Amino acid sequence: MSRLRGFEVAKGFEDKGINLPVRSTMYAAGYDVEAAENVTIPSFVLGQKPTLIKTGLKAYCQNDEYYMLLNRSSNPIKRGLVLANSVGIIDADYYENEGNDGHFMYAYYNFFDYDVEIKKGDIIGQVIFQKYLLADDDAASEKRVGGFGSTKK
Instruction: Classify 3 as helix, strand or coil.
Output: coil
Give the CA distances from residue 57 to residues 5, 14, 28, 133, 146, in Å, rounded to whole numbers and listed in that order: 13, 10, 20, 26, 16
145 pLDDT more than 80: no
**Least confident interval from 15-24, 58-67, 83-92, 143-152:** 143-152
Query: pLDDT tens digits for 12-54?
Result: 999 999 999 999 999 999 999 999 999 999 999 999 999 999 9
What local confidence, expressed as pLDDT, does residue 125 receive?
98
- Supply the DSSP string of 84-103, one letter for each residue: TTSSEEEEGGGTT-TTTTT-
Kindly give the pairing relationship between strand 104-110 and strand 51-60. Answer: antiparallel
Kindly give the pairing relationship between strand 51-60 and strand 6-9. Answer: antiparallel
Give the model's confidence band at 135: pLDDT under 50 very low, under 70 low, under 90 confident, else very high: very high
Give the model's confidence band at 2: pLDDT under 50 very low, under 70 low, under 90 confident, else very high: confident
Looking at per-residue confidence, does 2 or 27 come out higher? Answer: 27
Query: pLDDT tens digits for 75-128?
Result: 999 999 999 999 999 999 999 999 999 999 999 999 999 999 999 999 999 999
- Supply the DSSP string of 8-53, one letter for each residue: EEPTT-TTS-PPPPB-SSTT-SSEEEE-SS-EEEPBP-TTPPPEEE
Q: What domains lie within the chain, and their CATH numbers?
A: 6-131 (2.70.40.10)
Q: What is the distance, to the nearest Å, from the Cα of residue 60 to the centroid of all Cα atoms in its chain?
A: 12
Q: Give the gyration radius of the chain's Cα atoms.
A: 16
Which residues have CB under 8 Å from 55's CB, separation 6+? 10, 18, 33, 34, 35, 36, 103, 104, 105, 106, 124
What local confidence, expressed as pLDDT, does residue 153 receive?
54
What local confidence, expressed as pLDDT, does residue 147 receive?
63
Q: Distance between CA 22 and CA 18 in Å, rounded?
A: 12
Say if CB 20 and CB 14 are below 8 A apart: no
